[in-house]
Structure 1
Amino acid sequence: MPPDTFVTFTPDPQDPSWRSGWDPMVDLAKPTAFRDLPQSVFLWRNFQVKVVFTVGGVDLSQSMGVPVSILDFVLMLQAVKVIVRREGRADIGLSDRGDQWSFSQHGELLRVRIRGLLDDGWVEGSCLVEEFEQLVDVCLADALRLMFWEQPALRQNTYLQTLVRQAAGA
């Protein structure tokens, strides 16, 4: 039986960055080795995925509707983990859209709310804080694993190696 709180990523077939032979020149003004690609290449237009994000059995991904950058989503969750630990709540969104996510801790529980796709109210789920934190740690490792599987040359990227070290220390 699958867990009640999980995230899955499916590469967007329309996104050329997932394909063999992808040339980041399309996004950059000059030729750049995979090793030297900057953070911006990974956070907005490239490596788009369809996300299934379920918290406490509630599918919160229904509100996203369109693919999102895999790292933008994962790094949003990383930020939430840090902010909620410090402040008990986080109101945050993805970099490329005006969505509204609300995370709040209530004792051992974390409540997650996101505005519905057509602004038709909030969709809400909750899980144990510990369960969410473990999920966040796994998400980063899973995102990097998927990117490296599809684009092995990215294993040498300086920025992504920073994230690998972060995931290993989680």
Structure 2
Amino acid sequence: MSNENRKVIEKIFEKGLWYSRFLVILAVIPSIFASFSLFIVGTNKIMKVFLKTMSSFMVYDKSFYKYAIANIITAVDIYLIATVMIIFSLGLYELYISKIDSAVNSESMKLLNIKSLDDLKGKLAKVVLMVLIVTFFKYALNIVYKTPLGLLTLAVSIFAVSGALYLSHKY
């Protein structure tokens, strides 16, 4: 094979490799759909609490408060996961396909200013940490603390969560 034929084959191969980055679209589009679906699910949970609140507005029911708090915390958790999906899909698109012109020209969208895969991982890690904190809070509400050891465990857990949050903002 001549040197010129090799260069033509190499050029075609490299062009194919470069255009293979568009496969990322197979992750971007479903991630946006997943985010949209999660926002609907979270809003549905909040609306159920709202409607139940309006239907029993003047009736005191201790179990309702537990129901309302658990469902609202779950909705916040769902919203945070939906946010992870948006950040993931927009970040992948910007890294592999093209910068999003609307985001580049926007003053309020500095959150999605992703320049590398490490930037994307860092932003996702912070949101995932928030999901874990909300989930911890949801489970901590349902535990009955009968002994001092249980309360001590809760205190140590809250301290650990606070430390993780502090370190995530420091670095």
TM-score with structure 2 length normalisation?
Answer: 0.31
Greater strand content: 1
TM-score with structure 1 length normalisation?
Answer: 0.31
